[in-house]
Amino acid sequence: MMRSGFIICLLFTHTTLASDVQKVFVWPDLAPNETAHNEGHAMPLRANEDPPVTRLVEIRRPSIDVFPADKPNGTAVVILPGGGFGKVVPDKEGSEAAPWLNKLGISVFVVRYRTNETTPKSEPAWKRPLQDAQRTIRLIRHRASEWNVDPQKVGVLGFSAGGQVASILHTRNIATDYEAIDEVDKQLARPDFSLLIYPWQIMNPATQQLLEDIQPAKTSPPAFIVHTHDDNSSSLGSVLVYTGLKRHNVPAELHVYANGGHGYGMRPVAGSEIGTWPDRATSWLQHRGLADK
């Protein structure tokens, strides 16, 4: 397969269809602890990036970009892009995964979660994105018939900072991180499976252990995990998630590639095999009955 050409083709196709994407707001009014409805704006594009990368900032009103599969099989994937919490990258680490998953019968929901410009220093940077992710999962289950989704096949795909949020969400043992506001919040907020792609800083370097809020348990759902050996956001965090799940007999699959760095999303990296990770994920999803063959 000519993966690089395949992906670039998908990028151009997806850009063409962007105006047709359905946007849904995560919250009916103000999000928890917010006082504004700013949907965010894009930073200037960087001249050295081809294809370009969108970086959104100052998001106070989170939203979801909906990419339904042409032939839905009932599986839904909530994508949490990266961006270090100060930004959200909705294309390279978001919508560019939609053509791949849609082809497998999976409907895609890319979350433009809140950024941290106004987050108090006493509050973890991941908390508001986590709230947005939990509400999104509940919203999908609440509107499952409308989107042709099986409420028991709702998963999450997290890249980088979004992977940190997804790792917390994956192992969360409490019902939710916000107070219920309506009928939507009667739904379960945890995913049925997770794909954790180079999750960012999930290990405390001082203790060499997972962050306190990432605690794999026997109740955690199955996971597919990808990292690279040369990622400065150490792959040891991903290894610890895998071993934690393994100890509790939770199905999991871990791939640590020799090189490829960080922040590649769905795009290939010269001199690395990291561009093959979607193929490995496809096999995993199909084996679990979540993707069409």
d(CA 78, CA 170): 12
Residue type, 45: L
pLDDT of residue 174: 80
Q: Report which of residues 5 and 272 the model is more confident about.
A: 272
CB 59 within 8 A of CB 113: yes
**Is pLDDT of 166 > 60?**
yes
Six-digit token pair at 99? 């053509």
Count the Cβ atoms, other than its own, within 10 Å of residue 49. Answer: 10
Report the C-alpha gap between 157 and 136 in whole angstroms: 13
The residues spanned by each domain of the chain are: 3-287
Q: pLDDT confidence of 111, banded at 50, 70, 90?
A: very high
Q: For domain 3-287, give the fold.
A: Rossmann fold (3.40.50)
Q: Write down the pLDDT at residue 15.
A: 38
Question: Identity (one letter) of the amino acid at 249?
Answer: N
DSSP 207-233: TTEE-TT----TTPPPEEEEEETT-SS
Q: State percent of the chain over pLDDT 70.
A: 94
What value does the mean pLDDT take over residues 85-114? 98
Sign, Cα dihedral of 229, 231, 236, 238: negative
What does the alpha-carbon distance between residue 253 and residue 20 come to, in Å, rounded to a whole number? 35
Please report how many Cα atoms fall inside a 13 Å half-sphere around the Cα of residue 245, on the Cβ side. Answer: 22
Under a CB-based contact definition with an 8 Å cutoff, are residues 113 and 88 in contact? Answer: yes
| Token couple for 31 | 């999000």
How does 191-208 read in b/e, with b if 16+ C-beta sit within 10 Å?
bbbbbbbbbbbbbeeeee
Q: What secondary structure letter does DSSP report for 43? A: P
User: Which two tokens mark 225?
Assistant: 């995990």
CB 77 within 8 A of CB 157: yes
Mean per-residue pLDDT over the chain, rounded? 93
pLDDT, tens only, 46-99: 999 989 999 999 999 999 999 999 999 999 999 999 999 999 999 999 999 999
Q: How far apart are CA 79 and CA 206, in angstroms?
A: 30
Query: Which of 3-7, 31-35, 191-195, 210-214 comes out lowest in average pLDDT?
Result: 3-7
Tokens of residue 255, six digits: 């791939």
% pLDDT > 90, the chain: 90
* pLDDT digit string, tens, across residues 186-223: 999 999 999 999 999 999 999 999 999 999 999 999 99
Rounded to an integer, what distance in angstroms lies between the CA atom of residue 136 and that of residue 168?
15
Q: Which amino acid is at 228?
A: T
Please give the pLDDT value at position 13: 38
Position 19 pLDDT exceeds 80: no
Show the tokens assigned to 71. Answer: 């032939």
Spatial separation of the C-alpha atoms in residues 290 and 293, rounded to whole Å? 10
Is the per-residue pLDDT at 274 higher than 80? Answer: yes
